[in-house]
């Protein structure tokens, strides 16, 4: 990152920017999102600057998900919601971050993901990815170099 393009999350980790810290361990930090979808919306960030979650090391991945689980359990108890929505980002702010959002059936975020799932199920262009043969080809393609389980 250049001086003119400082990473806000790196600045928060370094203590040079304010945040509302909720939880942290040696590798991860949980803060409140300053533009929340709902009360309690948090971000889990690695302390090391890594734009994409799939480039984190194993210890960082473990830390992020343990932190997410710890905070999600607190959210469930505190807000008494139906579930905690979780998704990973890194696009707009190029520093991996996981959104944790307390969510209830039919709230704004639930309706958004329901609409997204309906979109996923409907366009003809996506039908070609659903056949048994297409799914088998996709699985083979994704397995071939990683040596994953079949």
Answer whether residue 145 shows pLDDT above 70: no
- Residue 100: closest CA among 120, 61, 71, 128: 71
**Confidence band for 20, pLDDT divided at 50, 70 and 90:** very high
More confident residue, 113 or 141: 141
Those residues with Cβ within 8 angstroms of residue 118's Cβ, 6 or more apart along the chain or in another chain: none
**The one catalytic residue among 20, 54, 97, 129:** 97
**Chain-centre distance for alpha carbon 66:** 13
User: Which band of pLDDT confidence, cut at 50, 70 and 90, is reported for residue 125?
Assistant: low
Q: What is the pLDDT of residue 118?
A: 76
Domains located in the chain, CATH noted = 3-104 (3.30.428.10), 106-145 (no CATH)
pLDDT at 1: 46
Is residue 22 a contact partner of residue 42, using CB atoms and an 8 Å limit?
yes
Burial 79-102 (b: 16+ CB within 10 A, else e): eebeebbeeeebeeebbbbbbbbb
Residue 117's pLDDT is: 77
Which pLDDT score, from 0 to 100, does residue 119 have? 73
Q: Is 49 a catalytic residue?
A: no
Encode pLDDT of 35-44 as tens digits: 888 899 999 9
């Amino acid at each position: 990152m250049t001086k003119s393009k400082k990473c806000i999350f790196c600045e928060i980790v370094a203590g040079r920017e304010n945040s509302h810290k909720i939880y942290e361990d040696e590798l991860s930090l949980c803060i409140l999102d300053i533009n929340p979808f709902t009360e309690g919306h948090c971000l889990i960030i690695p302390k090391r600057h890594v734009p994409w979650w799939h480039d984190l090391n194993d210890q960082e991945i473990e830390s992020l998900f343990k932190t997410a689980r710890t905070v999600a359990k607190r959210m469930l108890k505190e807000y008494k919601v139906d579930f905690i929505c979780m998704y990973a980002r890194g696009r707009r702010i190029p520093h991996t971050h996981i959104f944790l959002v307390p969510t209830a059936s039919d709230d704004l975020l639930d309706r958004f993901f329901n609409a997204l799932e309906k979109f996923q199920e409907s366009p003809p262009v996506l039908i070609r990815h659903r056949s048994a043969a297409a799914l088998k080809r996709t699985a083979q393609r994704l397995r071939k170099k990683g040596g994953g389980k079949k």
